[in-house]
Amino acid sequence: MRVLMVSKACIVGIYQRKLEYMAHSGMELVVAVPPSWRDERGETMLERVYTQGYDLHVTPIRFNGNFHAHYYPELPKLIQRFQPDLVHIDEEPYNAATWHALYAAQQARARTLFFSWQNIARRYPPPFRWGEAWVCRHVQGAIVGTESAGEVWRSKGYHGAMAVIPQFGTDEQLFTPSAVRPARPFTVGFVGRLVPEKGVDQLLTALHGLQADWHLEVVGGGTQQAELLQLAHQLGISEQVRFTRQLPSLEMPNTYRRFDVLVLPSLTRPNWKEQFGRVLIEAMASGVPVIGSDSGAIPDVIGEAGLIFPENQPSALRDALQRLHDHSTLYATLRQAGRARVLSHFTHAQIAQQTVAFYEQITG
């Protein structure tokens, strides 16, 4: 089987491990990626980390950073040259990149699928509404990251083959627990975009009043950083808070080992709720207990292996942090449970196996 995947997400080096597992199944795999991708955190450049067994092909991108309008102008030539049996469009159906790739794949008579995290049934204006309807009528498969995303696309009229598979797993050999918990202040971590819906202001408010010797490390970037720095100053906790820029993916395993807990305090908005929370499984694989709000998919990802609090309630988050700080038995239990949950559900090898099985299903 010859498969072409189009994926801006695969510029991240640690995500490429899934691609190696997929290539080991015997398929001929080409993965088309842009040289970089821009978002609220800045520009993320392509990392080449796991590249054995498949072709990681860099292709130009137009409208870099525009989530809905970007596309890959050289992709039709690549498809005609490679002649794939299947084109995996690692994009939402309402994006121009998906429409462009689907049309090019049709010209080569390749079968197609899209990937979606969208877990809110949003009604987009034309032409995006027209485009997603056209995609739903013409692709042969859909991979969705969660059950709720699948419900969205069924409600929008997609009736074809579908599989619920997270976009990526995590590397259990790269993200590993520290052998010994070092003596240090109770270190709380946040990793992600610094935007209002991620709820970092809730975390700062919760930490104000925590009865502990604590330190917060915020890793990421975004439009809200200056506002968050000001809030930390107003709360009188700025000396206990450190902001770190977005890091290369291979630096993240050691970063998680500096944390005693990872918090994902996401807030549901009319047009967004947490779609997965990849940092949760990376922390859990690293033996770091996790605390998450009940926004979107967070409770399903954490399961019984962490603590959940009602979103937009910083006092409830403070109570969860206090409980974890004060009870060493709970800390040890969640440390082990999180790692075990990742090994059972969220490794790259498992995600790759499920993805290849779905490829085989829709190609017959």
Tell me the pLDDT tens digit for each residue of 157-166: 999 999 999 9
Res 309: pLDDT: 98
pLDDT in tens, 140-157: 999 999 999 999 999 999
- In the chain, the percentage of residues whose pLDDT exceeds 70 is 100
pLDDT at 183 over 90: no
Cα(217)–Cα(222) distance, integer angstroms = 15
* Residue 188, token pair as written in the block: 């709380």
Q: Could you read off the pLDDT of 241-270 as tens digits, one per residue?
A: 999 999 999 999 999 999 999 999 999 999
Question: Which two tokens mark 65?
Answer: 């950073």
- Token pair of 333, please? 């239990």
Structural domains of the chain, with CATH: 2-169+347-363 (3.40.50.2000), 186-345 (3.40.50.2000)
Note the pLDDT tens digit of each residue in 280-298.
Answer: 999 999 999 999 999 999 9
**Among candidate residues 279, 218, 262, the one with its CA nearest the CA of residue 244:** 218
- Indicate the Cα dihedral angle 211, 212, 215, 220, nearest 10°: -50
Strands 141-144 and 111-116, by their bridges, are: parallel
What confidence score (pLDDT) does residue 205 get? 98
- d(CA 178, CA 184) in angstroms, rounded, equals 14
Q: What angle do CA 254, 260, 266 make, to 5 degrees?
A: 95
Digit-coded pLDDT (tens) for 342-353:
999 999 999 999
Q: What is the pLDDT of residue 182?
A: 82
* Residue 44: partners with Cβ closer than 8 Å, 6 or more residues away: 11, 12, 36, 37, 38, 246
For residue 259, what are its two tokens? 């944390």
Average pLDDT, the chain: 97
Mean pLDDT, residues 18-23 taken together: 98
Q: How many residues does the chain have?
A: 364
User: What are 99's two structure tokens?
Assistant: 């429409």
Question: Strands, E, within the chain: which ranges?
Answer: 2-6, 28-33, 36-39, 42-45, 55-58, 86-89, 111-116, 141-144, 161-164, 186-191, 214-219, 241-244, 261-264, 290-293, 307-309
CB atoms within 10 A of CB 281: 26
pTM, to two decimals: 0.93
**71: helix, strand or coil:** strand
In this predicted structure, the answer to whether residue 181 has a pLDDT above a threshold of 90 is no
Q: Look at residue 357 and tell me whether its pLDDT is greater than 90.
A: yes
Residue for token digits 């919760």?
206
Residue 363, CA atoms < 13 Å, CB-side half-sphere: 19
Amino acid at position 311, single letter:
E
Residues 305 and 324: their CA atoms lie apart, in Å, by 13
Share of the chain above pLDDT 90, in %: 97
Helix, strand or coil for residue 180? coil
Alpha carbon 187 to chain centroid, angstroms: 23
